[in-house]
A and B are shown apart, each in its own frame.
Chain A
Amino acid sequence: MATTQQRMPASSSVDRATSARRPLGRRGDARAAALMITPALALFILFLLVPIVLAFALAFTNARLISPNPPEFIGFDNFSLLLTDPVFWASVRNTFYFAVVVVPVQAGLALFLAVLVNTKVKGAQFFRTVYFLPVVTSMVVVSLLWRFMYEPDGLINRLLQAITFDRFTPIDWLNEPAWAMPAIMFISVWQGVGFTMIIWLAGLQTIPVELYEASELDGAGRWQQFRFVTWPGLTQTRTFILVTITIAAFSLFTQINLMTQGGPLDSTTTVVFQAVRSGYQQLQTGYASAISLVFFVMVLTVSLIQRYLTREKG
């Protein structure tokens, strides 16, 4: 994924620990906590809260990035323009297309890899490292390298030709409207899967070994073990992975900016890419803010739906 979310699910248990201790009246602890939260709070306000509030306000103005004129309030003009903009609808479509494919594929593949490298065979450590390598490579580097590999006479086409004994006709991956997005999905999964795997792995290792031993005594096969021990044991991890990689998938930008610039024929333009393009290249700060606001609502809605679907029942 373009942005790997570093927040770990452990934070909820930390909250519980501090709130449990508070009734004891340890004033010093509370003060230390207040001091420690200050830097995080400052950064949060400066780089998250302020920009969000600004974007909300600017979305209703005709603010320009370069202009001698002060911004004017124009009501919902930006939004009505947005609704009639075919590029915006293409961006929304592409963003959902990307998320709908990438989230399950990346999560599923990562789980598969995690289960594989979780076994205690020789070399498991080696494979963990190998799968994690793309993650530590910057998305910018990955995008540039794959741009070369996707060329008509690039590595991918040559490879496909070699294994099909030249029966494969080279595809200009990034210039074919039908292939450009799948090509970008592929490298995004390739780059992000390692990180997701590590989270699954952390989840897998919280499942007590006794459960596996007990199920084995009961005569469960490997599939049944996965189905009735592993899968239920990963509930928390699952929710976390689902939410974080969905958000990351929605904010697809780096690959697009470096590999296709939204083309060919708007087949890879995304909401974030369009916001950046309108805001910076076309200098329309107000319009770009409106796009960001819509994006915010979009992500919020999807996250709320996910939370509702994955809530702990009972």
Chain B
Amino acid sequence: MSRRNRRIVAAGLAVLAILATAACSAESGGGADGPQTIDLWTHAGGNDAELEVINTIVDDFNAQQDRYTVKIQDFPQDAYNDAVVAAASSGNLPCIVDVDSPNVANWVWAGYIQPLGLPEETFEGQLAGTLGRVDGEVYAYGYFDVALAMFSRQSTLDDAGVRVPTVDDPWTKDEFRDALAAIDKLDRFDYALDMSTGGTGEWISYGYSPQLQSFGGDLIDRSDFQSAKGALNGPEALEWARWFRGLVEDGYMAQTSGEDATADFVNGTSGLLYTGNWADGTVKEAFDDAVVLPPPDFGTGPKIGAGSWQWALAKGCDDVDGAREYLKFAHDTKYFVQYAKAVGLIPATLDAAAEIPAYAEGGENRIYLEMADRFAVVRPETPAYPYISSAFEKATSDILAGGDPQSILDRAVADIDRDIRQNGGYHS
């Protein structure tokens, strides 16, 4: 290549580089006149009911003032966290993000999100599990909490001769086993139990770590969040692992269940469904005699997860005032009510709960509120949580596949401890 041609190539590259930068910067920041655009990202893509409520709130906000326009970008839940992380690494976070509650501590540590800066009285009467609080500051608020629960049909339990457990008197480990055996004997279902073992990602930790905790184990030693030793590979954890794999070996549960466990249950392929109360509407619509059961007590009482998706303010936001105005506007009892009604989840404030008959005393969904109140265990509030969750996910799928539980759990503990060490204990 001659020198001249080399110069042409170099000039061409420079022009392209300039164009690329110009295109990027043109994207952010709205025009001088007209409303400022505030981007909002949500994981609710594909979940029409939830997305519709978000749309309503945003439309209301956009209509009642003309300084800001909130723009929704929805992602499928599986891809959402990756999208946020990728955006944060390149400094392109939107102003408002929703965040799964176990990630709040990690995102605060990483500097993704900032305190909401809303007056403290905004959150009066809100369930503690629905606030992302780190070091006393509120970084995120959620509209709802969810509760793990089991579903079945009265007719199924009656035919199997199994008693209906209650929040005050849940099934014990042995009762649960007997119930599975009895339902299995009906020969009516492909599997007596469906625990959504086909799920991936955070569901694994959300759904199965409470069982581990009910056995007496845990994901990490919560005294200082520095090691998982003993908690995740002690005798209690081992017992949980053996029990879990046992369900597959005894043919009560599929090693990998179908894509949509709720749909399978409604179509009659399973007798008992272990999932969250998000399945409530679908199940009750399908069966007149649907019953909601608390998770079994494996030793230390029934346990369920706590904390769901919450809204947060990103740190790099260049229009904090507008974003804050939206978050303040959106924290309105009527939206809490709409959320709870649309997705069948537990409303996050008492005001909202009072407006929904189903969640009032004696209401048909009261059981979820009671369970969230009595059985909830938050996932470890440590920046190490994403790693812990990923290690637990792999360990669980290996256990379900029939690997040696002790070495799998030892391996998970070693990985988690190494990660914590490598990050200097995740001290901020």
A-side residues, CB < 8 A to B, are 30-31, 33-35, 37-39, 41-42, 45, 62, 64-69, 86, 148, 151-153, 172, 174-175, 177, 261-266, 277, 280-284
Residue of B12, B88, B397, B403 touching A35 (CB-CB under 8 A):
B12
Residue of A30, A67, A261 touching B2 (CB-CB under 8 A):
A30
How far is A42 from B12 in the complex, measured between Cα atoms in Å? 9
- Please tell me if the beta carbons of B401 and A175 are within 8 angstroms of each other in the complex: yes
How far is A128 from B401 in the complex, measured between Cα atoms in Å? 41
Residue of B8, B107, B259, B386 touching A31 (CB-CB under 8 A):
B8
Residue B110 CB within 8 A of the other chain: yes
- Please tell me if the beta carbons of B256 and A68 are within 8 angstroms of each other in the complex: no
Q: Which residues in chain B, 133-173, are within 8 Å of chain A measured between CB atoms?
A: none
Residue B274 CB within 8 A of the other chain: no
Q: In angstroms, how far is the closest chain A Cβ from the Cβ of B183? A: 19
- Please tell me if the beta carbons of A34 and B85 are within 8 angstroms of each other in the complex: no
Q: A265-B403, A283-B386 are in contact. Are A66 and B106 (CB under 8 A)?
A: yes
Chain A residue contacts of B403, Cβ below 8 A: 265
Residue of B16, B255, B400 touching A39 (CB-CB under 8 A):
B16
How far is A266 from B398 in the complex, measured between Cα atoms in Å? 8
B-side residues, CB < 8 A to A, are 1-2, 4-6, 8-9, 12-13, 16-17, 82, 85, 88-89, 106-107, 109-112, 190, 200, 254-256, 258-259, 386-387, 390-391, 394, 397-398, 400-403, 411, 419, 422-424, 428
Residue of B82, B190, B402, B428 touching A265 (CB-CB under 8 A):
B402
Known: A65-B85, A69-B423, A153-B190. 20 other contacts (CB 8 A): A30-B5, A34-B9, A34-B12, A35-B8, A35-B12, A38-B12, A38-B16, A42-B13, A45-B13, A66-B88, A66-B107, A66-B386, A67-B109, A68-B109, A175-B256, A177-B401, A263-B397, A281-B390, A282-B386, A283-B85
- Please tell me if the beta carbons of A68 and B111 are within 8 angstroms of each other in the complex: yes
Using CB atoms, name the residue of chain A closest to B6.
A34
How far is A283 from B258 in the complex, measured between Cα atoms in Å? 29
- Please tell me if the beta carbons of B8 and A38 are within 8 angstroms of each other in the complex: yes
Which of A34, A41, A177, A277 gathers most chain B CB within 10 Å?
A: A34
Chain B residue contacts of A38, Cβ below 8 A: 8-9, 12-13, 16
Q: In angstroms, how far is the closest chain A Cβ from the Cβ of B7? A: 9
How far is A45 from B16 in the complex, measured between Cα atoms in Å? 12
Q: In angstroms, how far is the closest chain B Cβ from the Cβ of A141? A: 14
Chain A residue contacts of B6, Cβ below 8 A: 34
How far is A42 from B8 in the complex, measured between Cα atoms in Å? 13
Q: In angstroms, how far is the closest chain B Cβ from the Cβ of A61? A: 11
Contact sample, A vs B, 8 pairs, CB 8 Å cutoff: A30-B2, A34-B12, A37-B9, A38-B12, A39-B16, A68-B111, A152-B254, A282-B390
Using CB atoms, name the residue of chain B closest to A269.
B394
Q: In angstroms, how far is the closest chain B Cβ from the Cβ of A157? A: 13
Residue of A42, A69, A174, A175 touching B16 (CB-CB under 8 A):
A42
Residue of A42, A62, A263 touching B398 (CB-CB under 8 A):
A263
- Please tell me if the beta carbons of A261 and B423 are within 8 angstroms of each other in the complex: no
Which of A66, A151, A281 gathers most chain B CB within 10 Å?
A: A66
Using CB atoms, name the residue of chain B closest to A81.
B418
Chain A residue contacts of B387, Cβ below 8 A: 282-283
- Please tell me if the beta carbons of A62 and B13 are within 8 angstroms of each other in the complex: no
Counting from the closest, the 3 A-B pairs by CB-CB distance are: A264-B401, A38-B12, A34-B5
How far is A280 from B391 in the complex, measured between Cα atoms in Å? 13
- Please tell me if the beta carbons of A261 and B200 are within 8 angstroms of each other in the complex: yes
Q: In angstroms, how far is the closest chain B Cβ from the Cβ of A277? A: 8
Q: In angstroms, how far is the closest chain B Cβ from the Cβ of A24? A: 14
Q: In angstroms, how far is the closest chain B Cβ from the Cβ of A51? A: 13
How far is A98 from B9 in the complex, measured between Cα atoms in Å? 41
Chain B residue contacts of A265, Cβ below 8 A: 398, 401-403
Chain A residue contacts of B8, Cβ below 8 A: 31, 34-35, 38
Chain A residue contacts of B4, Cβ below 8 A: 31
How far is A153 from B190 in the complex, measured between Cα atoms in Å? 10
How far is A177 from B402 in the complex, measured between Cα atoms in Å? 10
Chain A residue contacts of B422, Cβ below 8 A: 62
How far is A69 from B16 in the complex, measured between Cα atoms in Å? 33
Using CB atoms, name the residue of chain A closest to B407.
A86
Chain A residue contacts of B411, Cβ below 8 A: 86
Chain A residue contacts of B419, Cβ below 8 A: 282, 284
Q: A31-B5, A34-B8, A261-B200 are in contact. Are A67 and B110 (CB under 8 A)?
A: yes
Chain A residue contacts of B386, Cβ below 8 A: 66, 281-283
Chain B residue contacts of A175, Cβ below 8 A: 255-256, 401
How far is A266 from B404 in the complex, measured between Cα atoms in Å? 13
Chain B residue contacts of A262, Cβ below 8 A: 394
Using CB atoms, name the residue of chain A closest to B408.
A265
Using CB atoms, name the residue of chain B closest to A285.
B89
Chain A residue contacts of B255, Cβ below 8 A: 172, 175, 264
How far is A265 from B405 in the complex, measured between Cα atoms in Å? 11
Residue of A35, A66, A69 touching B112 (CB-CB under 8 A):
A66
How far is A263 from B12 in the complex, measured between Cα atoms in Å? 47
How far is A172 from B394 in the complex, measured between Cα atoms in Å? 20
How far is A10 from B9 in the complex, measured between Cα atoms in Å? 24
